[in-house]
Copies of this chain bind each other. A is one copy, B any other.
């Protein structure tokens, strides 16, 4: 199995609300591959898809019942502590709930978390020990 992630799909309870949050709130441009029933964003070689949660569970042939912590978080790494503050502020203005205010963290960086309309958690982080390539992808040693 190649070591590759292609798409992360968020099962959402209101597709229009979620599209509005990511497109108008965070300012992301949907891919033209988007349809009425599914929205795609190109997050730099990996896709983010928004798809109704009931249909997603059905597609995976599992029950759609869910409660509490999804168990999965998404991280958006930036290049300075100031950029963390700006992004967290932008997300809050877009209606996100800030679950953890941006702060210095034990591993030596600076980060905060916001929850999207369905409670999916994004960490916005500056890690002084990590480098980016020319396409802003993290370089993993």
Contact = CB atoms under 8 A, between A and B. Distances in A.
15 contacts: A1-B90, A3-B29, A3-B43, A4-B44, A5-B44, A5-B74, A6-B138, A10-B72, A47-B75, A57-B69, A59-B100, A60-B113, A62-B69, A66-B67, A70-B71
A65 to B, nearest CB: 4
A3 B87 CA distance: 12
Given A66-B68, A68-B66, A136 B7 contact: no
Q: How many copies does the complex hold?
A: 2
B41 A3 contact: yes
Given A1-B87, A62-B99, A67-B66, A140 B47 contact: yes
Interface size class on chain A is: 35 or more
B138 A47 contact: yes
Contacts of A99: 60-62
Contacts of A120: 71-72
Given A60-B113, A121-B62, A138 B69 contact: no
Nearest to A6: B77
